[in-house]
Amino acid sequence: MSHYRSTLREAIRAALVAAATSAGARVYVNPTDDRTRFPALVLEDDGEAQRALTMPAGADRVIERRYTFTVRAEVQQVAGYDDARDTLAAEVESALATAGVVSGVKAITPAGCDFSQDNGGERPIAVATQRFEALYFTTQGAPGVPI
């Protein structure tokens, strides 16, 4: 049985590709390889808060899940890198704000953003790491099936 997080990540990836952001199809999920072409988006797991909503314990118990993930908007270019980074981040926020973009998820909410920059290479690198929280529910016995 696959966890619903697997479905969720793939749906988010597909939504970001379909949104035709400036990163195009360069949307990577928990990558281990270096990214070599930019702009690019990187989706990474952050964590998941879980809470039982019903009693008694058992397979049918409803679990509230708040899955947090980050989308890194990665830009590497000579000029306007900060604006390009923020434009890409805005495209991501917009794409994930669409209701029903991921079936089974009640809401995807922005939860904070961090910025980093590196000037040690041949072009300045700028990154916005946007955190999101995805709210969904499953039963305790079927974490792969949202309710």
Partner 1 sequence: MTFAAAIARANVAVFRHLADVRASLDNVAVSGVYDNPYATALNGMATRQPRFQLLDQYAVRTVQGSTLRIIDGAQAGTRYRVSGVEPDGTGVTTLLLERQP
Question: Does position 99 bind partner 1 by CB under 8 A?
Answer: no
User: Exposure pattern of 86-110 as b/e (b: 16+ CB <10 Å)?
Assistant: bbbbebbbebbeeeebbebbeebee
Distances (CA, A) of 120 to 124, 126, 129: 7, 12, 20
Stretch that binds partner 1, among 63-71, 88-96, 100-108, 114-122 (CB under 8 A): 114-122
Cβ–Cβ < 8 Å for 68, 46: yes
CA distance 102 to 84: 26
**CA atoms in the 13 A half-sphere facing the CB of 110:** 17
Question: Does position 2 bind partner 1 by CB under 8 A?
Answer: no
Interface pick for partner 1 out of 3, 35, 61, 66 (rule CB under 8 A): 35
Stretch that binds partner 1, among 6-14, 30-38, 86-94, 139-147 (CB under 8 A): 30-38
Least distance to partner 1, CB of residue 125, Å: 5
Stretch that binds partner 1, among 19-27, 54-62, 71-79, 92-100 (CB under 8 A): 71-79
Binding residues vs partner 1 (CB under 8 A): 31, 33-36, 38, 42, 74, 76, 78, 116, 118-125, 127
